[in-house]
Chain A
């Protein structure tokens, strides 16, 4: 089944404790991205990647890191989480390079930073 998977689905942590949220897709997509969803703000893009070893900042990149060492994986790293990073996070992927192409979303990771 074609899908985007994320782990963990739920995470509670404390301020300053490094964490990684994994994202994997099995559709051989070139393009992957991370979003955060907050009430009243919709989804905002954190980082995106157009291909292996090619990443760039989205609209709200502060406090986050990403890497793209393999085509299928695009982990999101919070090196020193803070309470304002409490949010619902989505990974997405798409074929890449085609105007108006559909992006496919993972199930989401709900993060609470105490």
Chain B
């Protein structure tokens, strides 16, 4: 079936550290891949996305590359800030029957300390 696996959290980092959150997927067809972020007490916001293999999504210093050969979409940031503390969700998007279905990973909580 279709599924997303993320590294378990929480991930705790010091400010300016390098961040990697691993995400791998299993899917039939050719999904689009997303990273959503959930700040404390808020809903989900799109962070970045990639719609086909080898595409790189980027936003706010975060990057992720759609790797079909390893079925991965790992999230990276070179220097995290305290304001990046949030829960990060990897998701795959399947398009079928005219609608988009999002399948989420379990989420990874990131805590950044000064």
Counting chain B residues whose Cβ lies within 8 A of the other chain, the interface size class is 20 to 34
Which residue of the partner chain A has the closest CB to B94? A99
Query: Can you name 27 A-B residue pairings with CB atoms under 8 Å?
Result: A31-B99, A40-B106, A42-B89, A42-B105, A42-B107, A43-B102, A43-B104, A44-B104, A48-B101, A92-B44, A94-B100, A96-B98, A99-B32, A99-B51, A99-B100, A100-B49, A100-B51, A100-B95, A100-B100, A101-B100, A102-B49, A103-B100, A103-B102, A106-B43, A107-B42, A108-B42, A108-B43
Chain B interface residues toward A at CB < 8 A: 4, 32, 34, 36, 42-46, 49, 51, 89, 93, 95, 98-102, 104-107
| Also in contact, A90 and B43, with CB within 8 A (given A100-B51, A100-B93) | yes
* Contacts of A28-69 to chain B: CB distance below 8 A: 31, 40-45, 48, 50
Q: Are B44 and A90 in contact (CB under 8 A)?
A: yes
**B104 to A: closest C-beta gap in Å:** 4
Residue in chain B with minimal CB distance to A30: B99
User: Do A43 and B49 touch across chains, with their CB atoms under 8 A apart?
Assistant: no
With contact pairs A50-B98, A94-B100, A103-B100 given, residues A43 and B89 touching in the complex (Cβ less than 8 Å): yes
Known: A41-B106, A99-B51, A100-B32. A105 touches B43 (CB 8 A): yes
Using a CB–CB cutoff of 8 Å, the interface residues on chain A facing chain B are 4, 31, 40-45, 48, 50, 90, 92, 94, 96-108
> How many cross-chain pairs have Cβ atoms below 8 Å apart between A and B?
60
CA–CA, A106 to B44, complex, Å? 8
Closest chain B CB from A61 CB (angstroms)? 14
Given contacts A90-B44, A100-B95, A103-B102, 6 further A-B pairs with CB under 8 A are A4-B43, A31-B99, A41-B106, A43-B89, A94-B100, A107-B42
Query: Of all chain A residues, which has the CB nearest B104?
Result: A42
Chain B residue nearest to A42 in the complex (CB):
B104
Report B21 CB to chain A, min CB distance, Å: 14
